[in-house]
Amino acid sequence: MPALTMTEKILAKRLGKAPSPGEHVVVPIDYVYMHDGTFPLALRVLREMGMEDQVDPGRLILFIDHAAPAPSVAAALVHQEMRRFAKKHGVRLHDVGRGISHQVMVEEGYARPWRIILGADSHTVTLGAVGSFATGVGSTDAAVAAVSGKAWIRVPEQVRVRLSGAELPRGVMGKDVALKLVSVLGANGAIYKALEFQGDLEALSLAARLTVSNMVVEAGAKLGLFPVDELTAKTLLEKYDVEAPRLYPDASAEYSDELELELGSLEPLVAAPPRVDNVKAVAEVEGIEVDQVFIGSCTNGRYEDFVAAARILRRHHVRESVRCIAVPASRRVFQELSRDGIIDVLAEAGCVVTYGTCGPCLGAHFGLLGEGETAISTSNRNFVGRMGHRDSKVYLASPLTAAAAAVTGRITDPRSLI
Amino acid sequence: MSLVVRGRAWVLGDNITTDHIISGKYKYSKMGRLEDMLPYVFADVIPGFYEKVRPGDVIVAGEGFGYGSSREHAARLLKMIDIGAVMAKSFHRIFYRNAINSGLPVIVAKRVPDVTEQGDIVEVRIEEGIVTNVTRGVVERVAGLEEPLLSILRAGGLVEYVKRHGRLPW
């Protein structure tokens, strides 16, 4: 038996043998999901192919999360169509307020180790943090997978990313690890590749791992897989009542490339506009004024992210010149935060709080930017015009760094406030 | 559909994202109606693109074309605008899949993009794996596509393939 990587193990389990990188294989999938941004085109494809009635309700999952609740009549019509479709075909629909798809996929236990999952969204790679072979596709691929239960994939080359360091330094979060990774790889540095994380994983909580896996697509990667160890299995069981089988690579598995990240020397980072790999130390951009702060998204909308932000917002009010928008990724996250008094902390500090929408991250709704405005955001992309006007700017950062900017009105090293 | 494309080049640089092709703002204000989004293709990067582009024109780009969102609208809209092919030094994988599924020929070339200027005539032979800058007389041999991707492109996209053959290619 040859030594296998995690990517090879998951594929070999389905195919009966480990395929080689570069090979095209057809694999069965466990789930395919779509949201209100990608569903309309998928439905159009299904209808054009005459296959709408053949969708497999056991495999397809729908989410209303990108513009939720509907900010326009056009969005409302899409949502209506999704509800009609779900009812007609018996497909599971997670409606307005349930949460952002990638977060809910974990909470509901759809995403588990060893599963193969496609999502009609590029950040589907988030689920690699719980050991799912999960990657983004377009609407046509998703529509076809919803009918056939299969997809063709190109087997990716696998890269080992070795993390070293017992814990993250003070003021450093999973987001800083993700930004460092993207800056080292570059925006095109991992195109078509599977990144497999190994080494000192105890330093990263499950929430931090989800943030790191979420952002591997910003280097072009197809997968960002973490081993499923005690920490992940325990968290999934305690939080979501999910029994997770372990997943590890074989010790002597071979990789096409290897990369090492030393966690102990990390400091708070930002990705300066207009590229995610344009990463700088906070110290290099300290003092830049911000008009808006967004804490949320599939990257950083989890419980731990708002607890971190609250460390600063508990003792300082949001500056008058700043709009601070806080959007927990799901209703469940909101309820956990509410139970522990964190929602009150955010509101008392002056944040606008809602939950369960992707809205601000992609400029869909709930806080777009005007001409010449600057935002600091915990989301994953800072492209030209991403969050609003084409002459607005977005700096990406951790929830701690975002909260620090909310209270000072300028990009600020969060270590000065915690 | 012939897999030989000859047309005027629109030259773009590295890291052209799906947000550059069609911004999420337009996508969410139009919510899925592709026809309504057409005038906004490349709106933030090439002013007047929609008015100036002609059927069969070829996009010639650098590294990392199609980075970003999975929105298939990006590939579909380029196809609807009658772009003949996209040539780039590398593609992000979701865009690449979406392009083939939409019937939009895509080809990786490393040298021709460097010598191509806006408006040059370029030719792309997908099956043979040959790209040529006709204006400058530069020919490059590149990797062709394999099946079933060629069959999907020949049919004009996956939807057309299924309509014609009554089944998926796999």
What domains lie within chain A, and their CATH numbers? 8-263 (3.30.499.10), 270-416 (3.30.499.10)
> Which of A73, A101, A191 should be substituted to probe chain B, the one whose Cβ sees the most B Cβ atoms within 10 Å?
A191
Chain A positions touching B17 (Cβ under 8 A) are: 383
Average pLDDT value for residue range A350-360: 97
> Do the Cβ atoms of B23 and A49 come within 8 Å?
no
Tell me the mean pLDDT in the region A135-156.
Answer: 95
- The confidence score (pLDDT) of residue B15 equals 93
Instruction: Give the one of A66, A148, A381 whose C-beta lies nearest to B168's C-beta.
Output: A148
Q: Is residue B103 part of a domain?
A: yes
**Chain A contact for B34 (CB, 8 A cutoff):** yes
How far is the CA of B34 from the CAs of A44, B29, B75, B105, B152, in angstroms?
11, 11, 11, 19, 21
Q: What percent of chain A has pLDDT over 90?
A: 96
Tens digits of residue pLDDT in A320-336 = 999 999 999 999 999 99
Above 70 in pLDDT, residue A102?
yes
Distance, in Å, from the CA atom of A393 to the CA atom of A389, rounded to the nearest integer, reads 9
Is position B77 within any domain?
yes
Using H for helix, E for strand and C for coil, what is the string for chain A?
CCCCCHHHHHHHHHHCCCCCCCCEEEEECCEEEEECCCHHHHHHHHHHHCCHHHCCCCCEEEECCCCCCCCCHHHHHHHHHHHHHHHHHCCEEECCCCECHHHHHHHCCCCCCCCEEEECCHHHHHHHHHCCEEEECCHHHHHHHHHHCEEEEECCCEEEEEEECCCCCCCCCHHHHHHHHHHHHCCCCCCCCEEEEEECHHHCCHHHHHHHHHHHHHHCCCEEECCECHHHHHHHHHHHCCCCCCECCCCCCCCCEEEEEEHHHCCCEEECCCCCCCEEEHHHHCCCECCEEEEEHHHHCCHHHHHHHHHHHCCCCCCCCCEEEEECCEHHHHHHHHHCCHHHHHHHHCCEECCCCCHHHHCCCCCCECCCCEEEECCCCCCCCCCECCCCEEEECCHHHHHHHHHHCECCCHHHCC
Interface contact A24-B146, CB threshold 8 A: yes
pLDDT in tens, A222-278: 999 999 999 999 999 999 999 999 999 999 999 999 999 999 999 999 999 999 999
- The answer for A 313-342 residues in CB contact with B (under 8 A) is none
Res B28: pLDDT: 61
Which of B15, B25, B73 lies nearest to residue A187, judging by beta carbons?
B15
The domain containing residue B158 runs over which residues? 4-165
Of A72, A275, A362, the CB nearest to B24: A362
Average pLDDT over residues A337-366: 97
Judging contacts by C-beta atoms under 8 Å, the chain B residues touching residue A78 are 31-32
Using a CB–CB cutoff of 8 Å, tell me whether A26 touches chain B: yes
Sort out which chain B residues have CB atoms less than 8 A from A362's CB and list them. 24, 28, 69
Nearest CB to B98 within list A67, A138, A144: A138
**Whole-number average pLDDT of chain A:** 97
* Tokens matching residue A218: 């910003």
The confidence score (pLDDT) of residue A152 equals 87
Asked whether residue B170 is domain-assigned, the answer is no
Q: What is the pLDDT of residue B32?
A: 58
pLDDT (0 to 100) of residue B145: 83
Window B:98-117, CB contacts with A under 8 Å? 98, 101-102
3-class DSSP assignment, residue B79: helix
- Encode B126-152: b = buried (16+ Cβ within 10 Å), e = exposed: beebbbbbeeeebebebeebeebbbeb
Mean pLDDT of A375-402: 96
In total, how many domains does chain B have? 1
Inform me whether the pLDDT recorded for A2 exceeds 90: no
CB within 8 Å of B167: residues ≥ 6 apart:
none
Distance between CA A7 and CA A60 in Å, rounded? 23
Q: Is residue B115 a part of any domain in this protein?
A: yes
Q: How many CB pairs under 8 A join A and B?
A: 136
The per-residue pLDDT for B31 is 57
In-domain check, residue B134: yes
Distance CA A128, CA A139 (A): 21
Q: Is residue B159 part of a domain?
A: yes
Task: Give 10-residue mean pLDDT values along chain B (170 residues).
Answer: 89 93 70 81 90 97 94 94 97 95 96 98 96 98 87 94 89
Q: What is the pLDDT of residue A164?
A: 96
pLDDT in tens, A106-127: 999 999 999 999 999 999 999 9
pLDDT at B29: 59
Q: What percent of chain A has pLDDT over 70?
A: 100
Residue A184, token pair as written in the block: 């080292």
Kindly state whether residue B100 falls inside one of the protein's structural domains.
yes
Lowest mean pLDDT among A27-31, A131-135, A338-342, B141-145: B141-145
Reported as a single tens digit per residue, the pLDDT across A29-39 is: 999 999 999 99
Identity of the residue in B68, B73, B168 whose CB atom sits nearest the CB atom of A144: B168
